[in-house]
């Protein structure tokens, strides 16, 4: 099967089980018409429940074969597939949300981009390594002084290793980020 086998290890890919993906999307509270970025979309584990929730989805995937499969799978859905590195991703100019299970190796860089001063981020629910989530929630995140006035962080659902195939060697949780109204 294209997009599986050796490419998983080479790209550090651990797809999220569809039942857990649905739980993540449900917990995020996505509403019809929301613009939602799914960074590291893979084959669409989170993209599919986002579409069912009525979101307009931008599915970002760097791996060329997975990006092609996403385009075919969601050809008739409100999904725009962008083949890009998260570090080079242009963020939307209108308010947006993120519901994503990005590669763990890019999480810090992605968070810096999402929380940049010009970002129109409203909220984010990111499946990340639990150690990273704890660091962001405990106030030990890089650049905290720049973004903490504008965003609150909390721990969302915790995901067991078996929520992924193959299971990663680390525990995972959802980092919830919400723009404040202060």
Can you say which residues are annotated as belonging to the binding site?
Answer: 40, 61, 85, 101
As given in the structure block, the two tokens for residue 2 are 């294209």
Tell me whether the omega of the peptide bond preceding residue 166 falls within 30 degrees of 0, making it cis: yes
Residue 164: DSSP 8-state: B
As given in the structure block, the two tokens for residue 125 are 């629910």
Query: Binding site membership for S-adenosyl-L-methionine: which residues?
Result: 40, 61, 85, 101
């Amino acid at each position: 099967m294209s997009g599986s086998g050796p490419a998983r290890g080479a790209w550090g890919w651990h797809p999220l089980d569809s039942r857990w993906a649905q739980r993540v999307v449900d917990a995020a509270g996505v509403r019809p018409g929301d613009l939602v970025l799914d960074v590291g979309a893979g084959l669409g584990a989170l993209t599919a429940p986002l579409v069912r929730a009525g979101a307009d989805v931008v599915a970002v995937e760097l791996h060329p074969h997975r990006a092609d499969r996403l385009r075919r799978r969601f050809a008739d859905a409100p999904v725009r597939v962008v083949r890009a590195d998260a570090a080079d991703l242009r963020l939307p100019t209108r308010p947006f949300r993120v519901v994503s299970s990005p590669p763990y190796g890019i999480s810090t860089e992605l968070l810096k981009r999402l929380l940049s001063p010009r970002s129109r981020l409203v909220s984010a629910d990111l499946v990340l390594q639990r150690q990273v989530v704890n660091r962001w929630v405990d106030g030990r995140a890089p650049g905290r002084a720049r973004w903490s006035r504008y965003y609150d962080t909390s721990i969302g659902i915790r995901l067991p290793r078996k929520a992924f195939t193959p299971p990663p060697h680390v525990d995972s949780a959802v980092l919830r980020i919400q723009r404040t109204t202060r």
